[in-house]
């Protein structure tokens, strides 16, 4: 008979008392494998639980101490040893004995005496099968670990563990979309090294990911400093909208820890805005046979993005549909009407300050700071922002201010919640604001909340407040 010689790195543990069987197995296998023989069950369990366990166990039913069935049962109940294949090799030929052997987890049950060639073939077959299963388990673990760094556990399970998980296609369902974004991070990233920018992002995303996973959200994408989170896919739940709002509140609360970590490293402080919307969307694997992604497509995503763009730092805005779907009472700090691009009717947005219930989640109450009137108003240049880009530069004047807001006289009308970039005199660094209220139509005077300012602008603002 022709045999394939195995590596001596593959070790077989033989647990037996029958000297005739031991001699037969040693003669049959020792030239192809490293064979370790023990007669006591407790000794066998210690060897299997060691750092370098055997590749396979040949086990007699009758051994000293613990019997063979109990040894096998113990090995299969321990996560560290459950994958070691066990073959019963015994002179006991009762059908009940064989059935019990398989019930406790053996992969084979060999009756002695047996032909040496058949014995060797069966051992080699189980060795190859064990190696194949180990490779598959390792590949499965690698895929879960790799995908798990980018997707939620539920999406990884849908992709890896489901037979048709990678099939292209999707279905329509009710979802709640959460989109977060850091205010002024693009400007920050232009002034800092790539290493610092990446470290800041990693700190922020690390803390946000822990909160999102706690509330069972699916992180669909990291887009720079923005996060797109889905509640309702791949697994939908009745409280998706409620969990999304709770998640958003806790994300805002977590920003204190993010900024604390930034402060320890000497990084600038940041604020985050969050927009939430609920509605129908297509969700599934989208792309081609060569490259695809688990994605969400629909107006619900677009509107969530628009809602987020209206936020200032520290703010959460939700759509009316999301508010209706929330079962717990919400602390609503403000209500505004907007006309987002691509929408032909007014949309009501609600600013969320917290969630009531058995374990309330509350943001700090807003503190109103009076505006200080400037004796000499400050002339500035203003750009209307469209997304991350500026257009339509025009003159303006700062009339009053405090640490968080400006009152501006404008030469061009700007709708409520418009984002503006303000260039201050003698300063190349811009300051970013969002129009929150129209004070006067003629002349055009608005109140704008500061969404981001550099340390240079912060210093200038402090001087103006001391000497208005």
Q: Is residue 248 in a domain?
A: yes
Q: Is residue 3 in a domain?
A: no
At 396, which CATH number?
2.40.10.220
Is residue 180 domain-shared with residue 317, that is, in the same domain? yes
Is residue 138 domain-shared with residue 36, that is, in the same domain? yes
Is residue 175 domain-shared with residue 265, that is, in the same domain? yes
Q: Is residue 435 in a domain?
A: yes
Q: What is the pLDDT of residue 139?
A: 64
Is residue 141 domain-shared with residue 163, that is, in the same domain? no
| Distance separating the N- and C-terminal Cα atoms of the chain | 100
Q: Is residue 157 in a domain?
A: yes
Q: What is the pLDDT of residue 401?
A: 93
Contact call for residues 435 and 414 (beta carbons, < 8 A): yes
Q: What is the sign of the dihedral through the CA atoms of 407, 412, 413 and 418? A: negative
pLDDT digits (tens, 9 = 90+) for 134-173: 777 666 666 666 555 555 566 666 656 655 554 555 688 9
The residue ranking higher by pLDDT, 399 or 428, is: 399
How many domains, the chain?
A: 3
The residue ranking higher by pLDDT, 69 or 168, is: 69
Is residue 102 domain-shared with residue 178, that is, in the same domain? no
Q: What is the pLDDT of residue 1?
A: 38
- Distance between CA atoms of residues 231 and 158, nearest Å: 15
pLDDT digits (tens, 9 = 90+) for 192-218: 899 999 999 999 999 999 999 899 898
Provide the CA 76 distance to its chain's centre, in angstroms: 33
Residue 73 CB contacts under 8 Å (≥ 6 apart), including other chains: 104, 105
Q: Is residue 367 in a domain?
A: no
Provide the CA 276 distance to its chain's centre, in angstroms: 18
Mean pLDDT of 364-388: 86
Mean pLDDT of 414-438: 86
Q: Is residue 197 in a domain?
A: yes
Is residue 262 domain-shared with residue 293, that is, in the same domain? yes
Among 295, 327, 362, residue at a domain's last position: 362
- Distance between CA atoms of residues 222 and 144, nearest Å: 19
Is residue 317 domain-shared with residue 382, that is, in the same domain? no
- Distance between CA atoms of residues 161 and 141, nearest Å: 11
Lowest mean pLDDT among 247-261, 321-335, 441-455: 441-455
Among 129, 145, 161, residue at a domain's last position: 145
Is residue 246 domain-shared with residue 109, that is, in the same domain? no
Q: What is the pLDDT of residue 11?
A: 86
Mean pLDDT of 222-239: 89
The residue ranking higher by pLDDT, 144 or 329, is: 329
What average pLDDT does the chain have?
86
Supply the range of the domain harboring residue 51.
11-145
Contact call for residues 223 and 206 (beta carbons, < 8 A): no
Is residue 354 domain-shared with residue 397, that is, in the same domain? no
Query: What are the CA-CA distances from residue 81 to residues 35, 181, 327 (Å)?
Result: 18, 47, 47
Residue 2 has pLDDT above 50, yes or no: no
Q: Which two tokens stand for residue 93?
A: 């030929």
Among 117, 145, 173, residue at a domain's last position: 145
Q: What is the pLDDT of residue 3?
A: 42
Report the 3 state secondary structure along the chain: CCCCCCCCCCEEEEECCCHHHHHHHHHHHCCCCEEEEECEHHHHHHHHCCCCCCCEEEECCCCECCCHHHHHHHHHHCCCCCCCCEEEEECCCCHHHHHHHHHCCCCEEEECCCCHHHHHHHHHHHHHHHHHHHHHHHHHHHHHHHHHCCCCHHHHHHHHHCCCCCCCEEEEEEEEEEEEEECCHHHHHHHCCHHHHHHHHHHHHHHHHHHHHHCCCEEEEEECCEEEEEECCCCCCCCHHHHHHHHHHHHHHHHHHHHHHHHHHCCCCCCEEEEEEEEEEEEEEEECCCCEEEEEECHHHHHHHHHHHCCCCCCEEEEHHHHHHCCCCEEEEEEEEECCCCCCCCEEEEEEEEECCCCCEECCCCCCCCCEEEEEEEEEEEEEEECCEEEEEEEEEEEEECCCEEEEEECCCCCCCCEEEEECCCCCCEEEEEEEEEEECCCEEEEEEEEEECHHHHHHHHHHHHCC
Q: What is the pLDDT of residue 155?
A: 60
Residue 274 has pLDDT above 80, yes or no: yes
Q: Is residue 356 in a domain?
A: yes
Is residue 401 domain-shared with residue 338, that is, in the same domain? no
DSSP bridge pairs for 337:
348
Mean pLDDT of 10-17: 88
At 160, which CATH number?
3.30.70.1230
Contact call for residues 106 and 98 (beta carbons, < 8 A): no
Is residue 133 domain-shared with residue 181, that is, in the same domain? no
Q: Is residue 6 in a domain?
A: no
At 134, which CATH number?
3.40.50.2300
Mean pLDDT of 267-284: 93
Q: What is the pTM of this model?
A: 0.67
Q: How confident is the model at residue 317 (pLDDT cuts 50, 70, 90)?
A: very high
- Distance between CA atoms of residues 355 and 297, nearest Å: 29
Q: How confident is the model at residue 302 (pLDDT cuts 50, 70, 90)?
A: very high
Is residue 164 domain-shared with residue 108, that is, in the same domain? no
Residue 51 has pLDDT above 90, yes or no: no
């Amino acid at each position: 008979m022709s045999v394939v010689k195995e590596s001596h790195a593959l070790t077989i543990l033989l647990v037996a008392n029958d000297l005739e069987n031991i001699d037969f197995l040693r003669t049959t296998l020792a030239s192809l494998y490293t064979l370790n023989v023990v007669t006591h069950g407790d000794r066998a369990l210690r060897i299997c639980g060691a750092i370098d366990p055997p590749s396979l166990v040949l086990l007699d039913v009758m051994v000293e101490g613990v019997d063979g069935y109990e040894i096998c049962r113990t090995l299969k109940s321990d996560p560290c040893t459950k994958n070691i294949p066990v073959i019963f090799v015994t002179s006991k030929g009762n059908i009940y004995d064989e059935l019990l052997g398989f019930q406790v987890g053996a992969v084979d049950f060999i009756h002695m005496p047996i032909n040496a060639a058949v014995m060797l073939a069966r051992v080699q077959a189980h060795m190859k099968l064990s190696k194949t299963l180990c490779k598959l388990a390792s590949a499965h673990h690698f895929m879960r670990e790799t995908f798990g760094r980018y997707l939620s556990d539920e999406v990884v399970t849908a992709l890896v563990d489901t037979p048709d998980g990678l099939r292209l296609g999707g279905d329509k369902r009710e979802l709640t979309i959460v989109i977060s974004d850091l205010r002024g991070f693009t400007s920050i990233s232009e002034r800092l090294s790539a290493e610092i920018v990446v470290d800041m992002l990693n700190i922020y995303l690390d803390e946000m990911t822990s909160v999102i996973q706690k509330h069972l959200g699916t992180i669909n994408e990291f887009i720079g400093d923005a996060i797109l989170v889905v509640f309702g896919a791949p697994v939908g739940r009745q409280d998706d909208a409620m969990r999304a709002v709770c998640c958003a509140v806790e994300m805002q609360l977590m920003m204190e820890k993010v900024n604390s970590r930034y402060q320890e490293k000497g990084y600038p402080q940041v604020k985050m805005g969050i927009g939430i919307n609920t509605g129908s969307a297509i969700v599934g694997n989208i792309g081609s046979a060569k490259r695809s992604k688990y994605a969400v497509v629909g107006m619900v995503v677009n509107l969530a993005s628009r809602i987020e763009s209206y936020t200032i730092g520290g703010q959460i805005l939700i759509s009316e549909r999301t508010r209706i779907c929330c079962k717990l009472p919400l602390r609503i700090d403000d209500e505004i009407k907007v006309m987002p691009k691509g929408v032909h009717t007014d949309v009501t947005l609600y600013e969320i300050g917290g969630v009531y219930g058995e374990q309330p989640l509350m943001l700090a109450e807003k503190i109103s700071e009076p505006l200080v009137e400037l004796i000499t108003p400050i002339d500035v240049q203003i750009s209307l922002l469209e997304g991350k880009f500026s257009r339509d530069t025009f003159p303006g004047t700062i009339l009053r201010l405090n640490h968080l807001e400006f009152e501006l006289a404008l030469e061009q009308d700007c709708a409520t919640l418009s984002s503006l970039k303000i260039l201050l005199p003698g300063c190349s660094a811009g300051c970013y604001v969002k129009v929150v209220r129209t004070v006067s139509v003629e002349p055009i005077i608005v109140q704008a909340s500061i969404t981001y300012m550099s340390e240079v602008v912060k210093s200038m603002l402090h001087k103006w407040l001391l000497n208005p």
